[in-house]
């Protein structure tokens, strides 16, 4: 049986390919090129729009070295146009709205499990495979399960997929812990065995996030204020801050205030004001309900309403007990207890035990009847 595996040049996808070959599959590697720094430099009329370099060439070389070690072919495909249209423009639009987006979720939905899957069909495979820490269970229906390694589980990022997208997908490393994956890489003498895990967003590369963002969105400095109306300083633009953020405020050690850290507790796009408060557990950081946009379930017939479920509001956040209701066409999520820093733009992903049911993007956040200024 033939399988086309997405090879990113990292240890997880390298081991995925190795495990598939061990299992006797006819393995074909496919490297995705999703970003072109030079081509994107002046798309927005700014010749300096992207001075950062995503280390794709090194990643491709690493993937090529792994493919050679395993004795499998490696092909390269360009999804730059699709990535810009379906992922990056959304990323920018959400920041313009004052939100904190998660582009990896849409990258999976539109690139890795759509554009990639369609291109893989040219090789006439039985399956496609990725190096995600997740599992697929096939029976009466196709279900997405958490990865065996709960600390590395990536179902949060796969929550916008559908059962039809997952029917022919394999996640070889989903049955292993990260420690096991490193061990297998060493056993196979893979060049990526000791390669560090990638962090952050590929297209930003090694460049500071705020510097990158300023090249695409104009900075709009404004006032940093308390809820009582005291002005404490000036922010660099609301897009650079997220709810619950502590670092980068530049307002520590103010006279007349307790010696406690300051956190972002709200934004007002109309007045371009950033609101801050003291203390990790500031009351304005806690909410008990939210509404969702673009809710998608793995099983299109899945009913979430009035069930006892758990949800994650950020990657690696703890599961929270919730109930979902559809009210006047809007999906509302009610928490069993107040939850800290539920942030518009992030995903709310639902689980029934080990099974990931799907999720949506957080739109509005509430505390009681009060709409939080997030």
Residue 145 lies in a domain: no
Asked if residue 187 and residue 81 are part of one domain, the reply reads: yes
Pair (243, 103) in one structural domain: no
Mean pLDDT for the chain overall = 92
The closest alpha carbon to 337, from 292, 371, 286, belongs to: 286
**27 within domain boundaries:** yes
DSSP 298-314: SSTT---BT--EEEESS
- Shared domain for 56 and 119, answered yes or no, is yes
- Same domain, yes or no: 207 and 294: no
Active site residues: 107, 202
Closest CA to 176 of 151, 196, 148, 153: 148
Residue 139 lies in a domain: no
Q: What is the pLDDT of residues 140-164, one digit of tens each?
A: 999 999 999 999 999 999 999 999 9
Q: Is the pLDDT of residue 77 over 60?
A: yes
Under 8 Å CB-to-CB from 329, ≥6 apart: which residues? none
Distance CA 302, CA 284 (A): 34
319 in Cβ contact with 339 (< 8 Å): no
Strands 273-278 and 222-225: parallel
Structure tokens at 51: 């001075």
Residue 225 φ/ψ, nearest 5 degrees: -130, 160
Q: Which of 157, 186, 211 is the last residue of a domain?
A: 211
The partner residues of 340 in beta bridges, in order of sequence, read 286
Angle between helix axes 56-70 and 11-22 (nearest 10 degrees) is 20
- Give yes or no: residues 99 and 178 share one domain: yes
Q: Are residues 15 and 107 in the same domain?
A: yes
Residue 36 and residue 179 in one domain: yes
Segment 306-352, tens digit of pLDDT: 899 999 999 999 999 999 999 888 999 999 999 999 999 999 999 99
Q: For residue 18, what is the enclosing H or E element?
A: helix 11-22
CATH number for the domain including 267? Answer: 2.30.30.280
The whole-number pLDDT of residue 306 equals 86
> Based on the domain organization, do 110 and 196 belong to the same domain?
yes
Question: 296 falls in which pLDDT band (50, 70, 90)?
Answer: very high
Please give the tally of structural domains in the chain.
3
User: Would you mind telling me the total number of residues written for the chain in this entry?
Assistant: 374
Burial 247-275 (b: 16+ CB within 10 A, else e): eebeeeeeeeeeeeebbbbbbeeeeebbb
294 shares its domain with 268: no
pLDDT band of residue 35 (cuts 50, 70, 90) is: confident
Claim to verify: residue 49 and residue 196 sit in the same structural domain: yes
**Sign of the C-alpha dihedral, residues 315, 218, 84, 46?**
negative
Q: Is the dihedral of CA 42, 47, 53, 58 positive or negative?
A: positive
Domain that holds residue 183: 2-131+171-211
Angstrom distance (rounded) from CA 189 to CA 48: 41
The reply to whether 41 and 115 lie within a common domain is: yes
Tokens at residue 45, please? 């009329």
Q: Is residue 155 part of a domain?
A: no
- At 175-219, the pLDDT tens digits run 999 999 999 999 999 999 999 987 666 666 555 777 788 888 888
In a domain, 17, yes or no: yes
H-state helical runs in 52-99: 56-70, 80-83, 89-96
Residue-wise pLDDT for 242-285, tens only, equals 999 999 999 977 888 998 999 999 999 999 999 999 999 999 99
């Amino acid at each position: 049986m033939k399988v086309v595996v997405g090879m990113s040049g990292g240890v997880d996808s390298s081991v995925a390919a190795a495990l598939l070959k061990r299992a006797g599959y006819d393995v074909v590697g496919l490297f995705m090129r999703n970003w072109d720094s030079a081509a994107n430099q002046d798309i927005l009329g700014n010749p300096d729009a992207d001075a950062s370099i995503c280390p794709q060439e090194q990643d491709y070389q690493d993937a090529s070295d792994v493919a050679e070690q395993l004795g499998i072919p490696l092909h390269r495909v360009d999804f730059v146009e699709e990535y810009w249209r379906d992922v990056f423009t959304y990323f920018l639009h959400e920041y313009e709205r004052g939100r904190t987006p998660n582009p990896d979720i849409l990258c999976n939905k539109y690139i890795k499990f759509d554009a990639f899957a369609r291109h893989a069909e040219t090789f006439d495979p039985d399956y496609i495979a990725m190096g995600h820490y997740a599992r697929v269970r096939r029976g009466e229906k196709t279900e997405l399960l958490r990865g065996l390694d709960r600390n590395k589980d990536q179902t949060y990022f796969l929550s916008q997929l559908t059962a039809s997208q997952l029917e022919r997908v394999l996640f070889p490393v989903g049955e292993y812990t990260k420690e096991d994956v490193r061990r297998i890489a060493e056993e196979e003498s893979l060049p990526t065995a000791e390669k560090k895990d990638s962090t952050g967003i590929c297209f930003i590369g090694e460049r500071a996030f705020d510097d990158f963002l300023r090249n695409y969105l104009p900075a709009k400095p404004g006032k940093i204020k308390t809820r009582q109306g005291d002005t404490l300083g000036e922010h660099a633009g609301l897009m650079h801050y997220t709810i619950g953020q502590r670092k980068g405020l530049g307002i520590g050690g103010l006279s007349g205030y307790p010696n406690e850290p300051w956190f972002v507790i709200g934004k007002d796009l109309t007045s371009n004001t950033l609101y801050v408060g003291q203390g990790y557990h500031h009351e304005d950081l806690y909410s008990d309900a939210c509404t969702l946009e673009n809710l998608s379930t793995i099983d299109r017939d899945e009913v979430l309403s009035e069930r006892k479920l758990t949800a994650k509001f950020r990657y690696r956040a703890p599961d929270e007990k919730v109930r979902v209701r559809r009210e006047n066409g809007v999906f509302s999520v009610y928490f069993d207890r107040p939850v800290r820093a539920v942030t518009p733009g992030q995903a709310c992903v639902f689980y029934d035990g080990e099974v990931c049911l799907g999720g949506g993007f957080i739109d509005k956040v509430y505390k009681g009847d009060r709409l939080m200024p997030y």
